[in-house]
Amino acid sequence: MAREKFRTLTEQMFYTLLCLKEECYGMDILDKVPQMTDNRVNIGSGTLYTLLEQFLGEGIIRETRVQGRKRSYILTDKGREMLKKECLRLEAQLRDYRRIFGEEEIG
């Protein structure tokens, strides 16, 4: 059985979509991701532009502006829903971890 595309997101996918809550250029995303993750997550330009193409093709993001080679993007409703589902999935994993190890909330 084929795996559903984008059923779960890599960190690079997750943070790319998170950046696109607001309109961004690709170069903006390359700068924002390390800032928002204290340099824990970086995205290479090849990876980013491949993801953007895939997200566009699936209707997860849309192009908002094109100036020569410079393009800006923003999340669609489908992209927002995908990001929300991923957050719920990650929260469920964290709850399972805490239940299994008997740990209290972190923070």
**26: domain CATH number?**
1.10.10.10
Max avg pLDDT among 1-15, 39-53, 93-107: 39-53
Can you spell out the DSSP letters for 47-91?
A: HHHHHHHHHHHHTSEEEEEEETTEEEEEE-HHHHHHHHHHHHHHH
Please check the confidence at residue 3 and state whether its pLDDT lies above 50. Answer: no
Asked if residue 46 is part of any domain, the answer here is yes
Asked if residue 82 is part of any domain, the answer here is yes
Looking at the structure of the chain, the number of domains it has is: 1
Q: How does residue 106 score in pLDDT terms, banded at 50, 70 and 90?
A: low
Q: How many helices (H) and strands (E) does the chain have?
A: 4, 3
Asked if residue 106 is part of any domain, the answer here is no
Give the range of the structural domain holding residue 35, as residue numbers without chain letter: 11-97
Asked if residue 107 is part of any domain, the answer here is no
Please check the confidence at residue 4 and state whether its pLDDT lies above 70. Answer: no
Q: What is the pLDDT of residues 15-74, one digit of tens each?
A: 999 999 999 999 999 999 999 999 999 999 999 999 999 999 999 999 999 988 899 999
Asked if residue 57 is part of any domain, the answer here is yes
Asked if residue 65 is part of any domain, the answer here is yes
Asked if residue 103 is part of any domain, the answer here is no
